[in-house]
């Protein structure tokens, strides 16, 4: 009986050794599962106090509705974002990116984009108008119009300045997430816009006795670049450690720089954490620009979907 008790004691001691060794492997006297949880930082970026760096390349497929009035002559250019997709990297080119660095509540913010859009619609067959019939004349008189149009639009923007986290609000009293965050951004905004329109038009008038041809070129060019102040805000909804939604709204110009200018920039994104340091996101961005001078009035909407990624360091 005594030998059986000794054997049971030895077996029990051997079974306890792996558990004791595993517990000893924990840091600061914590069980192993607590060590693993400590290593996996479940905080979202707005909850961290250490330095954080973010690099966010993105693609904004933007359509446009542009109205330009110069010396009483109005030109309208309209393209939907869906019309831009087949032309990407050919007649429609863009480069965009955002950089941010945070330390607790404070940080710096840079967001920039450049877009190029070119188009050359033409009417090679021309258009023939029977003036004799339209004017109720008894003579054959026709007018034939031929023309080609070239349009080039370039736009660039750079926002830079500080970022400040005003505060956060947990939506569940018992859990850290979901969480609402509110940030203020502002600083300087550099704007550049260039629009070039060239119309070649030929007209041929054919009558019973002779034919006359006349032609002309109409060129319209608008270009401006300037630096202005801007203010904005950013709302975040951090649903869980992997899913977040961000809403950003900024307004710049206020007529301070030149030409009674005003511009608005709005963006709504939904992001998903695909890796420990990488978020992929999709959303919608819209930008409105307007200014006017004595001879020129300009207003434009740029809007379309956004696809991008955020790399955190």
pLDDT recorded at residue 42: 76
Q: Is the sign of the CA dihedral 156, 86, 67, 122 positive or negative?
A: positive
DSSP letter for each residue of 277-304: TEEEEEEEEEEEEEEE-SSEEEEEEEEE
Per CATH, the homologous superfamily of domain 47-122+152-193+223-312 is OPCA outer membrane adhesin/invasin (2.40.128.100)
CA 37 to CA 4: how far, in whole Å? 42
pLDDT recorded at residue 222: 73
Map out the domains of the chain as residue ranges. 1-40, 47-122+152-193+223-312
Tell me: the pLDDT tens digits for 7-39? 444 444 433 333 333 333 344 444 444 444 444
Residue 73: burial class (beta carbons within 10 Å; 0-12, 13-18, 19+): exposed
pLDDT recorded at residue 120: 63
In this structure, what are the phi and psi dihedrals at residue 105, rounded to the nearest 5 degrees? -75, -25
Task: Identify any residues that bridge with 207 across adjacent strands, giving them in sequence order.
Answer: none
Spell out, as residue ranges, where the chain has pLDDT lower than 50.
1-39, 122-125
CA 273 to CA 45: how far, in whole Å? 12
CA 182 to CA 97: how far, in whole Å? 22
Task: Enter the pTM of the model.
Answer: 0.70
pLDDT recorded at residue 258: 61
Where is 33: in which H helix or E strand?
A: helix 32-39
């Amino acid at each position: 009986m005594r030998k059986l008790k000794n054997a049971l004691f030895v077996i029990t001691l051997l079974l306890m050794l792996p558990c004791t060794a595993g517990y000893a492997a924990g840091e600061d006297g914590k069980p192993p599962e607590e060590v693993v949880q400590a290593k996996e930082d479940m905080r979202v970026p707005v909850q961290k106090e250490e330095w954080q760096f973010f690099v966010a390349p993105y693609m904004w497929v933007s359509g446009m509705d542009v109205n330009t009035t110069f010396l009483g002559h109005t030109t309208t250019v309209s393209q939907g974002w869906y019309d831009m997709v087949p032309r990407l990297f050919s007649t429609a080119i863009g480069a965009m990116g955002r950089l941010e660095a945070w330390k607790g509540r404070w940080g710096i913010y840079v967001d920039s984009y450049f877009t190029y859009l070119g188009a050359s619609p033409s009417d090679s067959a021309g258009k023939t108008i029977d003036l004799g019939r339209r004017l109720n004349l008894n003579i054959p008189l026709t007018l034939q119009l031929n023309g080609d149009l070239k349009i080039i639009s370039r736009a660039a923007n750079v926002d830079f300045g500080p970022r400040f986290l005003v505060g956060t609000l947990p939506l569940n009293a018992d859990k850290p997430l979901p969480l609402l965050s509110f940030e203020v951004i502002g600083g300087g905004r550099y704007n550049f816009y260039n629009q070039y329109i060239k119309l070649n038009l030929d007209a041929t008038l054919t009558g019973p006795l002779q034919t006359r041809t006349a032609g002309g070129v109409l060129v319209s060019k608008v270009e401006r670049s300037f630096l202005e102040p801007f203010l904005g805000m950013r709302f975040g909804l951090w649903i869980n450690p992997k899913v977040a939604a961000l809403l950003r709204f900024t307004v710049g110009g206020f007529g301070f720089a030149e030409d009674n200018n005003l511009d608005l920039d709005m963006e709504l994104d939904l992001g998903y954490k695909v890796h420990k340091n990488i978020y992929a996101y999709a959303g919608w961005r819209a930008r409105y620009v307007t200014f006017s001078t004595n001879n020129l009035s300009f207003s434009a909407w740029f809007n379309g979907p956004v696809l991008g990624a955020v790399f955190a360091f």
